[in-house]
Amino acid sequence: CSPLVSSSTRAVLTLNDFSRGGDGGGPSECDGNYHDNSNPVVALSTGWYNHGSRCFKMIRITANNGRSVNAQVVDERDSVNGCDAEHSGQPPCRNNVVDGSQAVWDALGLNTDVGVEDVT
């Protein structure tokens, strides 16, 4: 159900804590590990995650301010399941979410207090 991927695919960037005990819930789907938020890593909505076919691939994220960053896909942001311990009680996400680490937000010069930003 996620939009087709191209160099101009619109998405919503959200903030995720990929560390142990962070709001990301369990370890990352791609490797079963937690990740340091100082690294530019992301989780993709279920359709974009595509059963792990994008694990460890780099994606380019561009903010409306013109800044871009390359980030590595390490996890799925579940668009189907949620509201349980595995998902830290969070509901399923929308089908166009790129859930980025603090490093992604910093590289894009975005305010994490806003929490949601339109990107391509």
- Report strand pairing: 41-45 vs 68-77: parallel
Cβ count near 24 (within 10 Å)? 26
Name residues of the chain where pLDDT drops below 70.
Answer: 1, 3, 79-93
pLDDT at 116: 93
Copy the structure tokens of residue 104.
């992604």
- pLDDT tens digits for 87-99? 555 555 677 889 9
pLDDT at 29: 93
CA atoms of 64 and 41, how far apart (whole Å): 19
Would you give the end-to-end CA distance of the chain in angstroms? 17
Whose tokens are 């409306």? That residue is 64
